[in-house]
Amino acid sequence: MRTRPQPAPTVPPASARPAAHHSQHRCFIVPPYLLAQLASLEDPRLHRAREAARHVLESEHVSHSVRPGEPPTMRPPVVRPRTGPVANPSQPDRAISDAGGTETLPGRIVRREGEPAVDDASVNEAYDGLGHTHALFWDAFERASVDGAGSPLEATVHYGDAYDNAFWDGSRMVFGDGDGQVFAGFTTSLSVIGHELTHGVTQYTANLVYSGQSGALNESVSDVFGALVEQHSRGHDVTEASWLIGEGIFTDEVEGTALRSLKAPGTAYDDDVLGKDPQPAHMDDFVETDDDNGGVHINSGIPNRAFYLAATSIGGNAWERAGRIWYETLTGEIKATTDFGGFADATIAVAVRLYGSESPETAAVRTAWGEVGVLS
């Protein structure tokens, strides 16, 4: 893209936005600062992208800024339970619905578990993505679905008109189709699907408060396991993996490869319209902000880089040892308000418990957190 927009507008304060009506916070893949950049476009050729971004920004929760004294934004799990016993926890129970261009959830069910592929690529991509995510958590960690008890995996496609986002709403995955100028659609990226469903796993385990450093950890954990879902499905080890989140969701007009990079935070895109990926890779560049729930999508680059460094130092398949350390930390070692330092300490403690205090795995984890400036 060739047109440089005006500086992105400041996200309006909470008092200027409509009151929330949903009981559950929505966790979105496209951060509000990127949408704000698109919403500022003046080039009439990008009218559709501008209006799509403005609409998403006006949606509930998307632009939420954390203020001192606000309560945590994550709420108790609301995933629908099964009506009967889990016959085979190693198998997913999927249902894909079609919102038909509306913003009414859940939409009309168009494919259930075990049914053949349909003519709609978005339906099939969502169905397959839910299956690949279930497969990672079961094969690597013997976790049956997001709640660990075999809850159904549900998704809605074709949400809204040119809707520029995908999100986890506390009970299901929801995918927009994108505006066609900047975003091409969200079911095409397996890392996006894995990312959003991992918000469900976090919701049922540590339930990390979605603000500040705990919120950045919430986002980082989703990026980590989103990347692992993709790697596991493709059989890629640490040297073959792309380490990208959202690869393929941009149109060919965008000068960028993905939304985020675990390998090199801050390098996923550098576009005349979108600007440059703002993620830091080190605590020296930590961003202090009230926007984006205290910078949860920006500062997640720091723990993302730590996982990449640990995983590549350990080697092999990242889901087997590095992923195991991060999974056990998330599901049993931290509390909702854990910050970067607390998470780092917990991963080291888990590595010691699993592999020993003098093991290469423990050394890799300890060194990784030091390299990103979280631990000295």
Catalytic residues: 196, 297
The pairing of strands 94-98 and 275-276 is unpaired
Query: Diameter of the chain by CA atoms?
Result: 60
| Of residues 199, 148, 147, 149, the one with CA closest to residue 173 | 199
Is residue 93 within 8 Å of 150, Cβ to Cβ? yes
One-letter identity of residue 69:
G
Q: How many of the other CB atoms lie within 10 Å of CB of 22? A: 12
Residues sharing a CB contact under 8 Å with residue 127, sequence separation 6 or more, in sequence order: 94, 96, 111, 117, 155
Rounded Cα gap, residues 342 and 237, in angstroms: 28
Q: How many of the other CB atoms lie within 10 Å of CB of 113? A: 15
Is residue 219 within 8 Å of 189, Cβ to Cβ? no
Report the length, in residues, of the chain. Answer: 376
- Cα separations in angstroms, 163 against 33, 54, 178, 329: 16, 10, 5, 34
For 97-116, the DSSP string reads EE-TTSS-SS-EEEEETTPP
